[in-house]
Structure 1
Amino acid sequence: MPRIVPCQSLPFSGFPARIRDCGQTRVMSTVIKTVLLLAPAYVYLYINAVYSLKSSHLHYREPLTDLVSQMQETSTAVQNSTNGGHPSTSVYRALEIDHTKASHSLWSEDAQCSKFLVNFGKNIEGTLLLSFPRSGNTWTRYLLEGATGIFTSSVFNDPSLTKAGFLGEVSSLSHNNTIVTKYHFLQKNHHATDPCILLIRNPIRAIASLWAFKIVTSWDVKHVAVIDNSRYNTSEFRNFYQNMLNRWMDVIRNALENSRLRLLPMYYEQLREDPIKEVRRMLNFLRLKPNEERLVCVARHITGKMKGGQKKFNPYTKNEMNQAQEAVKIVNNLLVKRGLPPLPDYSKYEN
């Protein structure tokens, strides 16, 4: 029979007397093991919290090499996620640059980011960037141009945007030289087989912003202007709201009911909340490998020049708010029916 050694005779002289008995020693051993097991998780959470805090500032400055590795940590998870109900692809496409055409520097005053130019491409598969007006389309174009280095185009040929550096504004989907093309409405079955990023914003915020865009006459400030609250208290705005709410539903309904093979819903509120994460989703949908240095520069200059002004004022009556909620339910049901993510809870966002 083996000799049983009393607990008190074990060599615990290095421990305080109060934990020398066997029961307390087992407890202490369990605590130490648990701490060692959880330590890596706490380190990861600390690093993630620090990076999130940095990303919340619009113009933080750190060497690109210090931030690129941090950005790469989230890339794999996004690449393995789903794109609007469609499996993501691991096959990236290469983009050919047209060096015979003009280029543009988004961040010429930033020594670490000025090397990244935006160019026209060649033989690029066309993708629609579809949204109801004032849903963040122009800002999304800026984010994509910064992330990809390829211009975006539009069906509107807005001279104020060309002046602001969106040189692809004069191009179109059929030219196959831009990464996405801006649309605000599509007839049913029009471009039904083209890939589409569908950008959706809370209708009460989009319509209020569109009214300000309509009221302001100067094209130099139309995209960023904020008007006085009293400009909403008119019968013209009440009629405008009714017409535009139906239009908001039509834009989304047509996109969802068309026989599109590839459709990515992008929710403006989530884009504002975490721009780099949502840009990664768009890059994955576009089958483009993220350029981590470019994404760091996008994060450092997140607003760009043409992001619209944000207004917390609510100009709507109780009945109008109820109508908007019903419209949101209809659109949300269409999204879910197609197997796409539901709309965000708009009550959590002020504007």
Structure 2
Amino acid sequence: MVRARMTSTADGLTWSEFEEAGLIPDEPAKGIPLSYRISMYREKVRFFLKSSLSQIRCKWFITALMLCIIAGAGLLSTLPLIRMRLISPQEEGPIGPELDPKMRPCRKILNFSPTPLPKIALASFTGSGNTYLRGAIEQITGIWTGSAVPDFQLYHGGFYGEVTADSKVIVVKTHGYGKKATKANYKKVILLVRKPEDAILAKWNQYKTRTHTGIAQGDSYDTEEWRSFVPKSIEEWKEMNEYWLSQNPVTVHVVQFEELLTNKKEELLKVIDFLGFKDQLDENMLNCVVEKYEGLFRRRKFKMDFEPYTPEMKEQIENARDLVQQAVEEWKFSKFDSVEWNGEDDAAAAP
């Protein structure tokens, strides 16, 4: 009976058709010729490959479609930013809507620089007050600041130089260090240093709320995510600051965030001098910024009724802070020493 049924393959039926009809036994009978067995298994392998190939093609198509949708959405969101990059010098001027006077209390109109400027980094660990200092520099000089990595929240909030990182902006915001910073080829850097315990909290708030002004919920600190976040952030804070402090001291200017808030005028004067704009400084504009500027995207003050850091975390923070502070002191000494040597060389060269 089995032999009679198997001879039906000569009629052109496929293996799958035989299988669906229930004509193929689970275990081939010993009496079935070898040629028929080979034909059966070959047909089965062919059916399996054909089915698998169809599934792979379907998956490829779905993946390609999803990538196209993502790319299209990204392109649409950046169209106004692309226009900014292509804008001609004749058209440069105030960009975007006029801002609330509280955001720009001293200067409403900002421009890109009409002449090329050296590429200067405004480097800091996330949450160290970079946005605050950028706004002050823009108000005093009237020139947009840029960013190594565009932040669309900042762009839509009034930092219309956010998508520019070339010689048209006065400084370029960056949170990077190491190979990325080396590749960017900055000529000078303003390093903004904030106490790690405050900077890490600010970064956590930004990370959890996905905004520059939001505040994370209290119960988020009693999680494994927070306990993992802190040691990584401490190490990043230390490495980032140590990297920039290891550069040529003449090309580095350090701003302590706490000093900036306490002695705003003195610290801003040092920054403007380092940028090479002291001769173009408008004293009235500087005084206005000192008195009225409160910062853009400034997180409101809040008090925590609990201690977010464990004793072990506090010890790690203290060790990192001491190492960076030591590097800052070495930078001060090295910079003073370099300036002193340059002065002696100039005196020796004088007739």
Which range, TM-score by smaller chain? 0.5 to 0.7
In 2, distance between residues paired with 1:114 and 1:331?
Answer: 35
CA contact (8 A) 2:205 2:216 kept: yes
CA contact (8 A) 1:193 1:261 kept: no
In 2, distance between residues paired with 1:263 and 1:291?
Answer: 24
* Number of corresponding residues: 238
Q: Does 1:246 align with 2:246?
A: no
Amino acid at match of 1:251: M
Amino acid at match of 1:226: I
Pair 1:107–1:167, CA change in 2 (3 A): closer
Pair 1:106–1:233, CA change in 2 (3 A): farther
Which of structures 1 and 2 has the bigger CA Rg? 2
Match of 1:88 in 2: none
Residue segments in structure 1 that go unaligned for 5+ positions in a row: 1-96, 342-351
Q: Does 1:180 align with 2:194?
A: no
CA contact (8 A) 1:192 1:258 kept: no
Match of 2:156 in 1: 163
Match of 1:4 in 2: none
Q: Which structure carries more relative contact order (alpha carbon 8 Å, separation 6+)?
A: 1
Match of 1:327 in 2: 320
Cα deviation, 1:108-134, whole Å, max 9, x if unaligned, reads 648x96665211113111211000001
In 2, distance between residues paired with 1:253 and 1:310?
Answer: 29
- Residue 323 of structure 1 deviates from its aligned partner by 1.1
- Residue 293 of structure 1 deviates from its aligned partner by 2.0
Worse-matched range after superposition: 309-318 or 278-287: 309-318
CA contact (8 A) 1:142 1:304 kept: yes
CA contact (8 A) 1:157 1:170 kept: yes
CA contact (8 A) 2:128 2:193 kept: yes
- Percent identity, aligned pairs only, is 26
Pair 1:107–1:157, CA change in 2 (3 A): closer
Per the normalisation by structure 2, the TM-score is 0.62
In 2, distance between residues paired with 1:133 and 1:153?
Answer: 16
Match of 2:112 in 1: 120
- Residue 280 of structure 1 deviates from its aligned partner by 1.1
Match of 1:227 in 2: 216
- Residue 304 of structure 1 deviates from its aligned partner by 2.9
- Residue 300 of structure 1 deviates from its aligned partner by 4.0
In 2, distance between residues paired with 1:339 and 1:260?
Answer: 8
Q: In structure 1, which of residues 262, 270, 282 is the aligned counterpart of residue 271 of structure 2?
A: 282
CA contact (8 A) 2:132 2:295 kept: yes
Residue segments in structure 2 that go unaligned for 5+ positions in a row: 1-87, 335-351
Pair 1:296–1:99, CA change in 2 (3 A): farther
In 2, distance between residues paired with 1:106 and 1:299?
Answer: 22
Pair 1:251–1:243, CA change in 2 (3 A): same
Q: In structure 2, which of residues 253, 259, 278 is the aligned counterpart of residue 270 of structure 1?
A: 259
Matches within 5 A, 1:201-212: 201-212=194-205
- Residue 102 of structure 1 deviates from its aligned partner by 3.5
Amino acid at match of 1:279: L
SS of the residue corresponding to residue 91 of structure 2 reads coil
- Residue 261 of structure 1 deviates from its aligned partner by 3.6
Worse-matched range after superposition: 299-308 or 138-147: 299-308
In 1, distance between residues paired with 2:303 and 2:152?
Answer: 29
SS of the residue corresponding to residue 236 of structure 1 reads helix
In 2, distance between residues paired with 1:291 and 1:192?
Answer: 30
Per the normalisation by structure 1, the TM-score is 0.62
Cα deviation, 1:241-274, whole Å, max 9, x if unaligned, reads 0001000011011111234541111011111222
Give the superposed CA RMSD.
2.5
In 1, distance between residues paired with 2:99 and 2:155?
Answer: 16
Match of 1:83 in 2: none
Matches within 5 A, 1:26-37: none
Q: Does 1:305 align with 2:305?
A: no
SS of the residue corresponding to residue 128 of structure 1 reads strand
- Residue 291 of structure 1 deviates from its aligned partner by 1.1
Q: Does 1:194 align with 2:183?
A: no
Pair 1:294–1:108, CA change in 2 (3 A): farther
Q: In structure 1, which of residues 251, 255, 263 is the aligned counterpart of residue 244 of structure 2?
A: 255
Amino acid at match of 2:142: G
SS of the residue corresponding to residue 199 of structure 1 reads strand
Cα deviation, 1:168-200, whole Å, max 9, x if unaligned, reads 10101xx20011000102215715661110000
